Chains A and B, each alone.
Chain A
Amino acid sequence: MATESEGLKLRNAPGTDPMRPALFEVHRVRQETRDTFTLELRSRGPSDGFQFLPGQFNMVYVFGVGEVPISISGDPNRPNALFHTTRAVGAVTKAMRRLRRGDVLGIRGPFGASWPVNEVSAREVIIVAGGIGLAPLRPMIYQLLSQRDQRGRVVLLYGARTPDEILFTHELQQWRTQLGLEAFVTVDRAHGDWQGNVGVVTTLIPKAPFDPSQAVALVCGPEVMMRFTVMELSKRGISKNRIYISMERNMKCGIGLCGHCQFGPYYVCKDGPVFRYDQVQDLIPLREI
């Protein structure tokens, strides 16, 4: 098991079949950037809300097209609405982008291990996100900011491709000004009118305000970006057992049966997607496992 959250993992309600999708209706579609969108979903059946932990994912089924794993991007303290943010890159996610209010999807989940919600309480947290990697971290940011009074500093380092591809811009502003999140944003390329940082997200780490002897780091983005991020965090002095990453693999069943997402001794769908870095560091550089 990868994180302390094993005992907290949630599954479909007891007695229900985790392979059987529940019906959810599209309530709202929000275009975040050119190719990234958020679906707000509501359960079609009687429901007490969709309980999940930050970092978990669902298998999202577009009827007649296929099923894909997508992390949950909403607020765990607002279970009545289920949010998924994704890029339209494959057949299923392109079909998802065409959905409109009232259309119906199948949802299985929530699946997988969460970010270490308990371990980070009362600690400094440094969050490093790259591109769409901010979406699986957003529930954790909501969670951390909801406990603002009881906890230490929360620092977000976020890298996007261009200024137009920065996600959740309105919320970033709100988190900064109203909730005390220390957010630093950088882009890989920009034109002359951009007033912010330019450079890969790893370049923010040496100057980020956190105490490496105390901080816990949560990292999500493309795997190459996460490897370089871990190197920079290690240079600052954060030990690898206080760094967590969220991995992406070809999840299919979501419950560790089919083996599609096997990663050495782990199933990413069941033991991950969130792993403590020291548990997977020897596997990550391998070309074949």
Chain B
Amino acid sequence: METLKPLLEEHPFLRDLSAEHLDLVVGCAKNVRFDPGKYLFREGQEANEFFIIRDGHVAVEIHSATKGPVIIQTVGAGEILGWSWLIPPYQWHFDARAVEVTRAIALDGKCLRGKCEKDYHLGYELMKRFSHIIEERLAATRLQLLDLYGNGI
């Protein structure tokens, strides 16, 4: 049976992972597809997956009683969506909605957490990769908070 291994080993997020660790990750992966308007996850739900977006793009948003849904960020092809599966209490903080037809590889976080507990080297490799993504998102969020174009900073 054809696996997702060729796709995953080519992806920058998993590049240079050892063959053994890659096999462990592949064992937790599946293909998913979302039509426009469908939610990949909702705020408050248990966070048991993360996604490698292959096509399309996803709006990460939060619902405000006065403003309706406010989009905080969009995630597109090649990017990684979701790290709440990695950090207790494993709960999504935002909604993620497909803006257009979106194809992704979903990685089962519960399955990976179990493998990471058994193999700390795999856990460290994944933590390094997610730390990099979290650092980039934090830097981007700080720039957003500066409201650069509004205040002429």
Contacts and interface: CB of A to CB of B under 8 A. Distances in A.
A116 interface: no
Given A191-B68, A191-B69, A165 B149 contact: yes
Given A89-B152, A189-B70, A198-B71, A224 B143 contact: yes
B126 to A, nearest CB: 20
A77 B79 CA distance: 41
Interface in A172-213: 186, 188-192, 194-200, 202-203, 207
Nearest to A248: B152
Contacts of B71: 189-192, 194, 198
Contacts of B136: 203
Contacts of B45: none
A202 B70 CA distance: 21
Give the secondary structure class of A's interface. mixed
B148 A221 contact: yes
Given A188-B147, A192-B59, A224 B153 contact: yes
A148 interface: no
Contact of B99 (A160, A195, A200): A195
Given A160-B149, A197-B74, A202 B68 contact: no
Report, as a range, how many residues of chain B touch the other chain: 20 to 34
Nearest to A228: B143
Contacts of A131: 148-149
A259 interface: no
Interface string B61-79: 1000001111111101111
A132 interface: yes
A199 B59 CA distance: 10
Contacts of B153: 222-224
Contacts of A222: 148-149, 152-153
Give the secondary structure class of B's interface. mixed
B148 A130 contact: yes
A159 B76 contact: no
A161 interface: yes
A225 interface: yes
B70 A207 contact: no
A202 B147 contact: no
Contacts of A202: 140, 143
B78 A207 contact: yes
B72 A198 contact: yes
A197 B58 CA distance: 9
Contacts of A159: 149
Interface in A145-185: 159-161, 165
Interface of B: 57, 59, 61, 67-74, 76-79, 97, 99-100, 136, 139-140, 143-144, 146-150, 152-153
7 contacts: A130-B148, A161-B149, A191-B71, A192-B97, A194-B71, A223-B153, A225-B148
Interface of A: 89, 130-132, 159-161, 165, 186, 188-192, 194-200, 202-203, 207, 221-225, 228
